[in-house]
Structure 1
Amino acid sequence: MYFPEINFVRGWACLAVVTVHVAGAFYYQQGASWSEISFMLNQLGRFGTPLFAVIGGFLLFHQAMHRRFSLMMFIRSRTMKILLPFLIWSGIYLLILWRFYEVPVFSDGLALVLRIITGQSYYHLYFMVVVLQFYLLFPLLQKNLRSERAWRVAMLVSLAVTAGWLLFPLNFEISKALGHPAMLGKWIFYFLFGGFLARHWNRIKEELCRYPLQVAGLTIAVFIGGIVEYQWWGPYSSQRLMNLVNIPILFLALVTVHPWFTRTVPYLEEGLQRIGTFGFGIYLVHPLWISLFMEWIPAKYWHIGMLPFIWTAILSASMIMILLIRRTPFHPYLLTIPKHPTHKTQQKPIPSAAARS
């Protein structure tokens, strides 16, 4: 089933991730120096990656709840759609490190393997490793999370695990490894939160429609809090404690405003739907274009006035590249590109409260 509101959120998440990385490119091109605007964009865009985790959990659990789960089909599907693209793009980005940045990535075989499996082939691939870890755990989760009580326990445990991982770094030899951003413990709450939403989605959407102003107020508070946070305590990453509160609020807020976008600015909503459909591909390819632009465009042009134009060019180049890849016979090995459905085929109407079992 296609959820336009979920794809809408994925579109925003994708734009946030691109914004973080483009702002980071300006930092390096300006002599490792932030401007106030690029720093703000880099920090406020840090909500994007956790939103991807919530969406991933939502879609996987929703599918498992409404279809018969087959372990072999799940393994084949995830291998083709996620694992193979991850390995291929890891190779591509390793070549970029070797060619453009003169990193000797191929000099040590063991170090090369470790770099790949920890998602360090390039700065964004760690999240693919997080997703793959969740896939390893998912067959067990979908088998055991069948009752409301089991879900409540799982939510509390996952919240405690993620909060504990962020709050209490371990003080022994493997603490550095456990603190790696690709460790699932830092992300498990977001995946399970997505699954919890999938379990109660119709009811949650009905409730959100009743309190749009309250949701809007909480969203404004999240962004103000984000600004205060980096102004007072310095830069933060997407793996921070406050996101355990911020991400659920932002996810639900974006779902709440989706009908307004559909009615008021349908062309913008359609654009976000398209970006959401290409979200996985954009996530994989946009750092390639950032690297190329950093090579092609002289540093003197990387001033803050050029940020909107370079940002737009990188996003556009990424989408054009995805469209071209989709025309090739081997595109399933490079990118998962679902078809972009029409609004007429998106989702069945929400049943009334009286029809709910």
Structure 2
Amino acid sequence: MERRAKLTEIDIVRGIAILGVLMVHSTSEATLNMKSSGFYGIYNFLNIFSKIGTTSFILLSSFVLFYNYFPQPFAFAQLKKFYRNRLLYIIVPYLAFSAFFFLLRWEVNHHPWSLTEMWPDFLHRIMTGQAYTHLYFVFISIQLYLLFPVLLYLFKRFKWLAASAIFVGVAIQWAFFLYNREYWQVANRGSWSLSYFGHYFLGAWLGIYFDRIRSWLIIAKESATGGKIVSWCALWAVWLGAGLGYVWLFYQNRVHGTMFKNALYDGLWDAYTMLTPIVLIQIAFLLRGKMKSPWVAALRQLGIASFGVYLFHPVVLLVYRQYPLHGGPGYMQHLWYAGGFACALLLSWLVVYALSRLTRVSWVLFGSVPAQLGASASESKRSAGRTVVSETASG
């Protein structure tokens, strides 16, 4: 059986998702320091509405895995290659950046350089995804990669389970939420894969049945029907309503100290972050015909480099925040926060791109990103060559 066609639109979704991550991290200090500003509502909106990165990446990872592997017989050779690639391109970068950030934070906090103190702490942090604030995402991904072959077998073996994957995933996720609140009280709940089973199982369902639902996902005038239009509007309305409701909860809590039940936060977060990747996929397909646009092409390239940008960008923000503004007109403070976002995006992207193209060992830091960037560059050259041939022939 032939492999399914590669969906370049997924790179666009990744590009939007990493912009969300950068926006959340670059506005985090503003949500603490700008409460007296008349623009605080905007900072709160940007910070909360952009909380789509981790969950979108988890769903996309699941989608791509099941999209590629579900139609194929999953033999031992494939299993071996699967884990080899994850070891080299996920775990190695995770360990490299965990070590870097651990040592950096150790030095910044002026701890004594004692191996007997450092080693146990480091082991604990890498085993819990806590070496630095953003590395929990990679820790979650490793957990889900370990589960993937088992879930793939179960979904292939029991068709009813694959068909009801969304409901099963949400049920497991919420059972974890409730039992954790009442009994387990696991620290750092967000660092454990059970918190994202709804997103992961939704991604699996989309990957398995993509050929059947593709015509519904793509918003196109020529294929629009009354039923589709109603369902599209309903999807976007629920998505937007859940997102704005989630923003409102945080605004009320941050500004007025209003307390809400955890279930309300979890419910709106779950609805918003599970629907966001579907909305983004629809947006990506709308942009598909504009791949020659510099902005769309750049967004796709950012998506290809997103794993490296995700791992590296806290370095940029850490350095940038060592030079805060002191005084000056109020608008300068807004420009300073905007500059943090711009630097985190552009400098991280530049570093990832430069190291990926200039060194052969950059995979140690960025996983498969260097190979993907190289493949994308080759693809662009081939496309340019075909364009020149076509123009010559038509001339």
TM range, smaller chain: 0.7 to 0.9
Percent identity, please: 21
* Partner of residue 340, structure 2: 310
Q: Tell me: CA distance 1:273–1:310, structure 2 relative to 1, closer, same or farther (3 Å).
A: same
Could you report, residue by residue, the CA deviation over 1:229-262 in whole angstroms, capped at 9, with x for unpaired residues? 323455999x833233223322221222224334
Equivalent residue in structure 2 for 1:226, among 226, 236, 246: 246
Q: Is the counterpart of residue 85 in structure 1 residue 93 in structure 2? A: yes
* Partner of residue 328, structure 1: 359
Could you report, residue by residue, the CA deviation over 1:21-72 in whole angstroms, capped at 9, with x for unpaired residues? 11114456x4998833322221111122101110010111122124443221
Paired with 2:215 and 2:34, the residues of 1 have a C-alpha distance of 50
Equivalent residue in structure 2 for 1:290, among 317, 327, 347: 317
Equivalent residue in structure 1 for 2:172, among 134, 139, 161: 161
Superposition CA RMSD, Å: 2.9
- How far the C-alpha of 1:299 sits from its partner, in A, is 5.5
Residue identity matched to 1:11: G
Residue identity matched to 2:22: V
* Partner of residue 387, structure 2: none
Paired with 1:159 and 1:308, the residues of 2 have a C-alpha distance of 36
- Asked if structure 1 preserves the Cα contact closer than 8 Å seen for 2:240 and 2:272, the reply is no
* Partner of residue 275, structure 2: 249
- How far the C-alpha of 1:183 sits from its partner, in A, is 1.1
Q: Tell me: CA distance 1:299–1:41, structure 2 relative to 1, closer, same or farther (3 Å).
A: farther
Unaligned runs of 5+ in 1: 346-357
Q: Is the counterpart of residue 125 in structure 1 residue 125 in structure 2? A: no
Matched residues, number: 341
Residue identity matched to 1:118: T
TM-score, normalised to structure 2, is 0.77
Q: Tell me: CA distance 1:137–1:240, structure 2 relative to 1, closer, same or farther (3 Å).
A: same
Could you report, residue by residue, the CA deviation over 1:78-130 in whole angstroms, capped at 9, with x for unpaired residues? 00010000000001111221233435696343222111211111000011111
Q: Aligned to 2:65, what secondary structure does the other structure show? A: helix
* Partner of residue 123, structure 2: 113
- Asked if structure 1 preserves the Cα contact closer than 8 Å seen for 2:16 and 2:299, the reply is yes
Q: After the TM superposition, which residues 143-222 of structure 1 pair with which residues of structure 2 at under 5 Å, given as runs?
A: 143-146=153-156, 147-172=158-183, 175-177=185-187, 179-208=188-217, 209=219, 210=224, 211=229, 212-222=232-242
Residue identity matched to 2:362: H
- Asked if structure 2 preserves the Cα contact closer than 8 Å seen for 1:261 and 1:268, the reply is no
- Asked if structure 1 preserves the Cα contact closer than 8 Å seen for 2:9 and 2:284, the reply is yes
Residue identity matched to 1:320: L
* Partner of residue 97, structure 1: 105
Q: Aligned to 2:267, what secondary structure does the other structure show? A: coil
Q: Is the counterpart of residue 71 in structure 1 residue 79 in structure 2? A: yes
Q: Is the counterpart of residue 271 in structure 1 residue 298 in structure 2? A: yes
User: Greater shift after overlay, 260-269 or 304-313?
Assistant: 260-269
Q: Tell me: CA distance 1:36–1:105, structure 2 relative to 1, closer, same or farther (3 Å).
A: farther
- Asked if structure 1 preserves the Cα contact closer than 8 Å seen for 2:355 and 2:362, the reply is yes
Paired with 1:171 and 1:259, the residues of 2 have a C-alpha distance of 43
- Asked if structure 2 preserves the Cα contact closer than 8 Å seen for 1:325 and 1:331, the reply is yes
Q: Is the counterpart of residue 15 in structure 1 residue 19 in structure 2? A: yes
Equivalent residue in structure 1 for 2:51, among 46, 51, 69: 46
Paired with 2:63 and 2:112, the residues of 1 have a C-alpha distance of 39
Which has the greater radius of gyration? 2
Q: Which has the higher contact order (CA 8 A, sep 6+)?
A: 1
- Asked if structure 2 preserves the Cα contact closer than 8 Å seen for 1:167 and 1:241, the reply is no
- Asked if structure 1 preserves the Cα contact closer than 8 Å seen for 2:155 and 2:161, the reply is yes
Could you report, residue by residue, the CA deviation over 1:153-184 in whole angstroms, capped at 9, with x for unpaired residues? 44333211212222443445x5234x532111
User: Greater shift after overlay, 148-157 or 330-339?
Assistant: 148-157
User: Greater shift after overlay, 250-259 or 326-335?
Assistant: 250-259
Q: Tell me: CA distance 1:104–1:127, structure 2 relative to 1, closer, same or farther (3 Å).
A: farther
Could you report, residue by residue, the CA deviation over 1:191-217 in whole angstroms, capped at 9, with x for unpaired residues? 121111011113322113343444443
Paired with 1:197 and 1:31, the residues of 2 have a C-alpha distance of 40
Q: Tell me: CA distance 1:111–1:26, structure 2 relative to 1, closer, same or farther (3 Å).
A: same
Residue identity matched to 1:200: Y
Paired with 1:166 and 1:33, the residues of 2 have a C-alpha distance of 34
Residue identity matched to 2:44: F
Q: Tell me: CA distance 1:300–1:130, structure 2 relative to 1, closer, same or farther (3 Å).
A: farther
- Asked if structure 1 preserves the Cα contact closer than 8 Å seen for 2:67 and 2:210, the reply is no
Q: Aligned to 2:189, what secondary structure does the other structure show? A: coil
* Partner of residue 351, structure 1: none
Q: Tell me: CA distance 1:144–1:176, structure 2 relative to 1, closer, same or farther (3 Å).
A: closer
Q: Is the counterpart of residue 5 in structure 1 residue 31 in structure 2? A: no
- Asked if structure 2 preserves the Cα contact closer than 8 Å seen for 1:166 and 1:241, the reply is no
Paired with 1:144 and 1:282, the residues of 2 have a C-alpha distance of 34
* Partner of residue 389, structure 2: none
Paired with 1:300 and 1:285, the residues of 2 have a C-alpha distance of 30
